[in-house]
């Protein structure tokens, strides 16, 4: 079955209207959730911030900016899910201890090395931010794990995992890195990877998943690489993780000069160097989309930047429910 669901003389509804609000601060991988009535963000942070020497995870209140927790040294690509008074934080570990040279633009691509993307998906859970339980929940030496996203479906929980192949273990289901693979759980703590046939898609770069479930469909927003090294998020849906439909209205958003403005009330988050980078840096990217419902709207966070040396966390919103937003791309 083709993933492209339109035919000759296809008629569609209008694309959902997403309003960009501007850049919030430096940042990239994150998940916003409501936890114990508060809008919080679980986010990956670089070493040298928050008093930490290495990359780590931060939990922050989105309204008051109170930092609730700093955790997860040398863990990457944070995502989150909250349910029944428990916050579950998902992340991946280090691949190796060699120095990262991926973002050294003075070196050629053949000299790049990324020490992230380890073989383990890990989980922290807490009810009070005072104590955290830690567990490695998925291990696979043949795969490297990057971003994750978790949602609840009709028969348990599903995790989308961004995967690339480990050196020496070619995998035709991964193909062009990156590719989304999937795992299932009945209790959020014990996970089982689905067979490699349950994946999307080996023929294109497909990264940074955000997974949600409504009325029989799993909706997934992922980053696609466009021609000439440009990046934008696309939305798909599936009922079985074998057959996927591409939304009529894609990309979900595009990078542009509206990513170069500072979000209201966020001026204090930018120093002079960051302002110059925001206003003048090469912006070819609209990545790491994640979203939640709050205040009667769907609030969307994403990263701008050049996919190499800088990124700022940006904010957008849809004036309506998340289900209406996601279904609107397929009407």
- Secondary element (H or E) of residue 274: helix 272-280
Lowest mean pLDDT among 29-38, 165-174, 197-206: 165-174
Residue 264, pLDDT above cutoff 70:
yes
- The reply to whether omega before 178 is within 30° of 0 (cis) is yes
Distance CA 85, CA 267 (A): 33
Over pLDDT 90: what percentage of the chain? 84
67-95 average pLDDT score: 97
181-198 average pLDDT score: 97
Categorize the per-residue pLDDT at 110 as very low, low, confident or very high, splitting at 50, 70 and 90: low
Question: Looking at the domain assignment, is residue 15 inside a domain?
Answer: no
Question: Looking at the domain assignment, is residue 88 inside a domain?
Answer: yes
Question: Looking at the domain assignment, is residue 285 inside a domain?
Answer: no
Question: Looking at the domain assignment, is residue 311 inside a domain?
Answer: no
Lowest mean pLDDT among 27-41, 100-114, 272-286, 304-318: 100-114
Distance, first Cα to last Cα, the chain: 19
Over pLDDT 70: what percentage of the chain? 97
- Domain containing 221: what range? 24-256
What's the CA angle centered on 23, arms 18 and 24, to 5 degrees? 110
How many separate domains does the chain show? 1
Categorize the per-residue pLDDT at 182 as very low, low, confident or very high, splitting at 50, 70 and 90: very high
Question: Looking at the domain assignment, is residue 211 inside a domain?
Answer: yes
Question: Looking at the domain assignment, is residue 120 inside a domain?
Answer: yes
* Tokens representing residue 174 in the block: 């991964």
Residue 170, pLDDT above cutoff 90:
no
- The reply to whether omega before 202 is within 30° of 0 (cis) is no
User: pTM of the entire structure?
Assistant: 0.95
- CATH assignment at residue 164: 2.120.10.10
What's the CA angle centered on 275, arms 272 and 280, to 5 degrees? 125
pLDDT tens per residue, range 293-324: 999 999 999 999 999 889 999 999 999 999 99
Question: Looking at the domain assignment, is residue 156 inside a domain?
Answer: yes
3 state SS of 323: helix
Residue 284, pLDDT above cutoff 70:
yes
Question: Looking at the domain assignment, is residue 252 inside a domain?
Answer: yes
Position 313 scores a pLDDT of: 98
Residue 196 is classified by DSSP as T
Show Cβ contacts of residue 154 under 8 Å, excluding neighbours closer than 6 positions: 213, 216
């Amino acid at each position: 079955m083709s993933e492209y669901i339109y035919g000759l003389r296809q008629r569609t509804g209008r694309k959902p209207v997403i309003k960009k609000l501007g850049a919030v601060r430096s940042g990239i991988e994150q998940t916003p959730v409501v936890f114990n009535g508060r809008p919080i963000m679980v986010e990956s942070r670089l070493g040298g911030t928050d008093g930490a020497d290495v990359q780590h995870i931060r939990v922050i209140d989105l309204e008051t900016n109170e930092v609730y927790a700093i955790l997860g040294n040398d863990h990457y690509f944070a995502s989150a899910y909250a349910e029944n008074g428990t916050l579950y934080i998902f992340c991946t570990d280090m691949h190796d201890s060699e120095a990262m040279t991926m973002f050294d633009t003075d070196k050629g691509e053949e000299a790049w090395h990324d020490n992230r993307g380890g073989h383990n998906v890990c989980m922290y859970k807490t009810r009070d931010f005072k104590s955290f339980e830690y567990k490695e929940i998925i291990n696979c030496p043949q795969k490297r794990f990057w971003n994750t996203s978790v949602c609840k479906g009709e028969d348990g929980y599903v995790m989308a995992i961004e995967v690339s192949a480990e050196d020496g273990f070619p995998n035709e289901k991964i193909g062009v890195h990156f590719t989304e693979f999937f795992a299932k759980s009945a209790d959020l703590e014990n996970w089982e990877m689905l067979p490699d046939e349950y994946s999307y898609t080996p023929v294109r770069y497909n990264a940074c998943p955000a997974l949600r479930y409504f009325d029989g469909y799993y909706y997934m927003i992922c980053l696609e690489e466009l021609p000439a090294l440009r990046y934008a998020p696309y939305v798909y849906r599936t009922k079985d993780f074998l057959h996927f439909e591409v939304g009529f209205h894609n990309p979900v958003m595009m990078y542009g000069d509206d990513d170069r403005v500072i979000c209201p009330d966020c001026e204090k988050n930018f120093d002079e160097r960051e302002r110059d980078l925001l206003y003048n840096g090469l912006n070819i990217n609209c990545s790491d989309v994640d979203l939640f419902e709050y205040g009667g709207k769907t609030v969307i966070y994403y990263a701008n930047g050049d996919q190499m040396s800088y990124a700022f966390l940006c904010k957008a919103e849809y004036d309506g429910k998340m289900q209406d937003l996601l279904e609107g791309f397929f009407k």
